């Protein structure tokens, strides 16, 4: 039963990190987008959160993707009077997304994902080895 627990815990980590990477990809995709209307607000960076959950069937603590929060930091502005999204003063707001931070977060999420895959692979090998021992 402990093998099943370790696989379930790692699988919950895979699902959570997958959701995290999806949100990071959305942030990267919108890093240079501007508002649809003149003077409006552009895309606001999203921050994923995680929750601790209990799988009662396995009696194991797992992780899940929690609420998606908006980053409260301010937008960057550039003076571009001819831009369609410019306000009355000619300033255009750009998203509060830093591509370098997003790429770093993406790499961290990928490594966490890989670690969970390794846990599942190692558990699978242990199960296979146990079955081989029992057959002998």
Question: How far is it, in rounded angstroms, from Cα 96 to Cα 24?
Answer: 13
Residue numbers of the domain that contains 16 = 2-135
In this prediction the pTM is 0.88
Q: Alpha-carbon distance 6 to 117, whole Å?
A: 11
Give residue-wise pLDDT tens across range 94-132.
999 999 999 999 999 999 999 999 999 999 999 999 999
Whether the Cβ atoms of residue 64 and residue 16 lie closer than 8 Å to each other: yes
Per the listing, tokens 């929750």 go with 51
Q: Structure tokens of 91?
A: 């300033």
3 state DSSP class of 53:
strand
From first to last of the 136 residues of the chain, give the pLDDT tens digit.
Answer: 589 999 999 999 999 999 999 999 999 999 999 998 888 899 999 999 999 999 898 889 999 999 999 999 999 999 999 999 999 999 999 999 999 999 999 999 999 999 999 999 999 999 999 999 999 8
Domain tally, the chain = 1
Strands 60-70 and 76-79: unpaired
Q: Provide, rounded to the nearest whole percent, the portion of the chain with pLDDT above 90.
A: 88
So what's the pLDDT on residue 1?
A: 56
E-assigned strand segments in 58-99: 60-70, 76-79, 91-94
């Amino acid at each position: 039963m402990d093998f099943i627990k370790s696989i379930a815990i790692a699988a919950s980590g895979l699902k959570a990190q997958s959701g995290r990477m999806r949100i990071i990809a959305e942030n990267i995709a919108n890093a240079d987008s501007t508002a649809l209307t003149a003077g409006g607000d552009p895309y606001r960076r999203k921050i994923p959160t995680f929750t601790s959950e209990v799988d009662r069937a396995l009696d194991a603590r797992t992780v899940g993707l929690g609420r998606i929060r908006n980053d409260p930091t301010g937008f960057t502005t550039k003076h571009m009077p001819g831009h369609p999204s410019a306000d009355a003063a000619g300033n255009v707001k750009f998203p509060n997304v830093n591509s370098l931070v997003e790429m770093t977060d993406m790499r961290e999420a990928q490594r966490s994902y890989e670690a969970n895959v390794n846990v599942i692979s190692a558990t699978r090998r242990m199960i296979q080895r146990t079955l081989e021992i029992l057959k002998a």
